[in-house]
Amino acid sequence: MAAPSPALVFNTAFKSRAGQPVDMAPGLTRITAPNSGPYTFTGTNSFLIGTERLVLVDPGPDDPRHIDALRKAIGARRVEAIILTHTHRDHSAAAARMRIELAAPLWFGGPHRLSRPLRRFEINPISRSCDWGLVPDRVLTDGEKFMAGGVPMEVIATPGHCANHLAFGMVGTPVLLTGDHIMGWNSTLVAVPDGSMAQYLASLDRVLATDYAIFIPAHGGHIADGVTYTKALKAHRAMRSGQIITAITEGVHSVGAITTKLYPGVSRSIRAAAAMTVKAHLEYLEARGALRIRRSLLGMWAEI
C-alpha cells in the first residue's frame, strides 16, 4: 500500500520585522520589505549573502523605507552583485536603482518572458506586475555555480510561477532560497500565460532531486522540512486537479463556476488568484488529455 501523502500545513503565524536584519544561517541575512498584502503576505524578503563582502538577493519594491533598511544593513561593505529569483516587481522594482547606487552588476535568469505565447485576444492578467524592461548584466542558468560574498552558490532553474524563476542553493549546506516557487504561508500563484502549471510541477520534482532540505522563501518564514512540505504541495496540486475533473463531470464547466465550487466564500482578491490557478490547472489537464477546452471571447468551457 502506498504511503499517505503528507498533509499541507501553511504557516500563517509568521511575524516579520520589516526593515530589521534577521540572521537566517551563517552568511545569510533577511530584511523584509513593508509591502504586506494578499499576494505578498507579510512582505517581500530581501537577503544579504556573505559577511565582509555581500551579494544582495531580491532587492524588492522601490520603496524608500525598504531601500534605506537595505543601505543600513549593507553599511560600508561592498556588494559584488544583485541577483533576482525572478522579475515580478515586488522582487525586482528596486533593482535598477540599487544597481546604480551600489555599482553592482545585476544577475538573473534573463529578461521577463511568458511561459507560452499569448493566444488570440488573450491578455496576461498579471502583466503590470512584471518587470518587462529589466535586462541582466549576466544571465544565470540551471546548474551554474558562483561565489556570493565568499559563499559558494548553485543555481536551480524553477520555472512555473514565471518562466525565468530561479532558486539558489548555498552549496555544502541544507539551505535553499526558493523565491516564490515554494513558500510556507500559501501555495504559489500560477497564472497562465505568465506561468505554467506543468513547469511548476516539474520544478517541484527538480527541487526534490537535490540535497537541500531547509527552504527559505521570498515571503514568510523558513520551511524546516522542505522535502516533506514539497511533497505535500505536489499532493495538494493533484487534489485540485481531481476536484476540477469531478466538478466538470458534475456539470460545472466555466472557470468562474469551477472557482466558485472549489473556493466558496473567499474574498474578492483571493478569488481572482484562485481563478488564475484554476485556469492553469485546466490548461495542464488539457495538455495531458484529461479534458477538452473550448475557447471564445467569452472565456473557457471545459468538458470531459
pLDDT at position 4 over 80: no
pLDDT tens, 40-68?
999 999 999 999 999 999 999 999 999 99
Residue showing cell 523565491: 179
Q: Which percentage of the chain shows pLDDT scores above 70? A: 99
The continuous run of DSSP H or E covering 112 comes out as none
pLDDT tens, 61-86?
999 999 999 999 999 999 999 999 99
**Mean per-residue pLDDT for 115-119?**
97
Please tell me the distance from the alpha carbon of residue 80 to that of residue 97, in angstroms, as a whole number. 15
Please tell me the distance from the alpha carbon of residue 261 to that of residue 246, in angstroms, as a whole number. 11
Non-local CB neighbours of 164 within 8 Å, separated by 6+ positions: 86, 87, 108, 109, 110, 111, 112, 113
| pLDDT confidence bin for 157, thresholds 50/70/90 | very high
pLDDT tens, 275-284?
999 999 999 9
CB 121 within 8 A of CB 135: no
Q: Note the pLDDT of residue 190.
A: 98
| pLDDT confidence bin for 262, thresholds 50/70/90 | very high
- pTM equals 0.96
CB 228 within 8 A of CB 6: yes
pLDDT at position 1 over 80: no
Q: Note the pLDDT of residue 2.
A: 62
Q: Note the pLDDT of residue 6.
A: 84
CB 184 within 8 A of CB 11: yes
Residues in the chain: 304
Q: What is the chain's mean pLDDT, rounded?
A: 96
CB atoms within 10 A of CB 270: 14
Say whether 166 sits in a helix, a strand or coil.
strand
- Give 228's DSSP letter: H
Q: Note the pLDDT of residue 3.
A: 67
In the chain, what are the domains?
Answer: 22-235 (3.60.15.10), 237-303 (1.10.10.10)
pLDDT at position 128 over 80: yes
Cell of 70: 537595505
Residue 165 vs residues 84, 157, 245: alpha-carbon distances, Å? 8, 6, 29
Q: Note the pLDDT of residue 268.
A: 86
Q: Note the pLDDT of residue 5.
A: 79
pLDDT at position 217 over 70: yes
Angle among Cα 293, 297, 298 to the nearest 5 degrees reads: 75
Q: Are strands 28-32 and 22-25 parallel, antiparallel or unpaired?
A: antiparallel
Q: Note the pLDDT of residue 265.
A: 87
Q: Note the pLDDT of residue 167.
A: 99
Cell of 225: 522540512
pLDDT at position 144 over 60: yes
| pLDDT confidence bin for 298, thresholds 50/70/90 | confident
Q: How many CA atoms lie within 13 A of 284 on its CB side?
A: 26
Helices in 37-80 by DSSP H: which ranges?
Answer: 64-74
CB 27 within 8 A of CB 149: yes
pLDDT tens, 242-256?
999 999 999 999 999
Cell of 180: 516564490
- Which residue(s) pair with 45 in the sheet? 32
Residue showing cell 545569510: 28
